[in-house]
């Protein structure tokens, strides 16, 4: 547990939250700054800054809980036609709480959420150059 981490406080029960589901390794609760109605956060009970340092068992627990919540969101929120699963790693990628977490964001026709990424065809030479660095 990290002393100054809001999510560690939620896990410990010292900071209030609206819990939706929990397991022995993960907790899901409503986001207080939702991108869309029903936006959830899924966090491991054990503190880690982001996916890079989270234990494999914690990642598994968080992912499986998020998977079940995606089904619940689509089944129980009839207007929801899909969902985004999002992890932000680092401040430049919009991470604002430095405790590993996944966003489960229900999506609705014409909802207000817009990510800054707009897919466009990439430069094949650049793609291949980056590929070479990653293999």
Q: Does the pLDDT at position 134 exceed 80?
A: no
Q: Name the active-site residue from 39, 47, 99, 101.
A: 101
Please determine, for residue 18, whether its predicted confidence score (pLDDT) is greater than 70: yes
Cβ neighbours for 36, distance < 8 A, ≥ 6 positions apart = 105, 106, 107, 108, 111, 112, 113
Please check whether the domain covering 6-134 is classified as CATH 3.40.50.10170: no
pTM of structure: 0.86
Hey, where are the domains in the chain?
6-134
pLDDT 10s digits, 80-125? 999 999 999 998 888 899 999 999 999 999 888 877 666 577 778 8
| Residue 101 among the catalytic residues | yes
């Amino acid at each position: 547990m990290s002393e100054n981490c809001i999510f560690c406080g939620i896990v410990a029960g010292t900071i209030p939250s609206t819990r939706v589901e929990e397991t022995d390794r993960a907790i899901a609760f409503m986001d207080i700054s939702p991108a869309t109605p029903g936006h959830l956060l899924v966090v491991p009970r054990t503190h880690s800054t982001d996916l890079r340092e989270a234990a494999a068992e914690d990642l598994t627990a968080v992912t499986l809980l998020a998977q079940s919540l995606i089904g619940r969101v689509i089944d129980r929120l009839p207007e929801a036609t899909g969902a985004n699963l999002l992890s932000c790693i680092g401040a430049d990628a919009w991470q604002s709480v430095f405790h590993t977490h996944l966003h489960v964001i229900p999506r609705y026709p014409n909802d207000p959420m817009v990510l800054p990424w707009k897919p466009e065809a990439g430069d094949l030479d650049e793609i291949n150059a980056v590929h070479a660095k990653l293999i």
